[in-house]
Amino acid sequence: MSNNQHKKKNSFSYAISGIIEVTKTQWNFRFHLFAIIAVIISGCYFKVSTSEWLALTGVIGLVLVAEAINTALEYLVDLVSPEWNELAGKVKDISAGAVLISALIAAITGLLIFIPKTGLL
């Protein structure tokens, strides 16, 4: 195996390790994974269109990426500032806020797609 192939293999391993870490340590990430399962089941049941699947996939990805970045920022802040620091707290609050924004966008997207299919509107 060439040095370049070895580096690519290692970078993929590190990425998988990161996904495992965030899944094992972050309750909110696991919650979103269960929500994804519910969305997939609902999407199959209601036979959502290709464009609706695209929208759902996009917002699902947005939420998972936001959660992962939030976790990485929390770890970094804890490393740099192990004791309480107002600015460190703001960094954590802002990154958590980004997750909330992405989750709200995902929820609105889901409601716009699924509510009409239920006959409630």
Integer Rg of the chain from CA: 18
Q: What is the mean pLDDT of residues 30-35?
A: 97
Q: What is the pLDDT of residues 79-90, one digit of tens each?
A: 999 999 999 999
Residue 5 placed within a domain: no
Catalytic residue list: 67
- What's the whole-model pTM score? 0.89
Q: What is the mean pLDDT of residues 23-47?
A: 97
Residue bearing the bigger pLDDT, 120 or 34: 34
Q: Give the range of the structural domain holding residue 37, as residue numbers without chain letter.
A: 27-118
Evaluate if residue 70 carries a pLDDT over 70. Answer: yes
Q: For residues 108 and 90, give the distance between their C-alpha atoms in angstroms, rounded to a whole number.
A: 27
For residue 42, the domain's CATH number is 1.10.287.3610
DSSP 26: -
Confidence of residue 121 (pLDDT cuts 50, 70, 90): confident
Number of domain units in the chain: 1
Residue 32 placed within a domain: yes
